Amino acid sequence: MSTFKVSVTAFNPKEEKRATQPIDALVDTGSELSWLPEEMLVKIGITPRRKKIFMTASGQRVERQVGYAILRAEGFETIDEVVFAEKGDMILLGVRTVEGFSVMVDNIGHRLVAQASLASSSEMVLQ
């Protein structure tokens, strides 16, 4: 599997004119949530809503603040929980954001590819 980065911008969902500068984030489908620098999120008024414990790839447990942001990358957009990354943390675009974008990850072409969203896992019946 290869790795690649995309340029991500976060917007305050209560005041969309407040946005971060674009920042390169590693596309990481092994990470549940997206991680962006704490100082960038605070600067645009993103409010921490709760703390969450994460298990890192090295097996370390870390606790971080989590809030809500509108995330845009490569022409795609979604609202999602975002982790307030501290100094030394990686900047990541997590799988929930990827799914919210309704894209799949093309690891060979190093890009996000639009796909149709699933409506149901079973046949839909209209009445």
Whether 121 maps to a domain, the answer reads: no
- Residue 126, domain member (yes or no): no
Count the Cβ atoms, other than its own, within 10 Å of residue 124. 6
Report yes or no on 71 lying in a domain: yes
User: Using an 8 Å Cβ cutoff, are 38 and 65 in contact?
Assistant: yes
pLDDT tens digit sequence for 62-121: 999 999 999 999 999 999 999 999 999 999 999 999 999 999 888 788 888 888 876 666
Query: Tens of pLDDT along 2-56?
Result: 689 999 999 999 999 999 999 999 999 889 999 999 999 999 999 999 999 999 8
Q: Based on the structure, what is the number of domains in the chain? A: 1
Predicted structure pTM score: 0.87
Give the residues across from 38 on adjacent strands: none
Fill in the amino acid letter for 121.
S
CATH of the domain at 13: 2.40.70.10
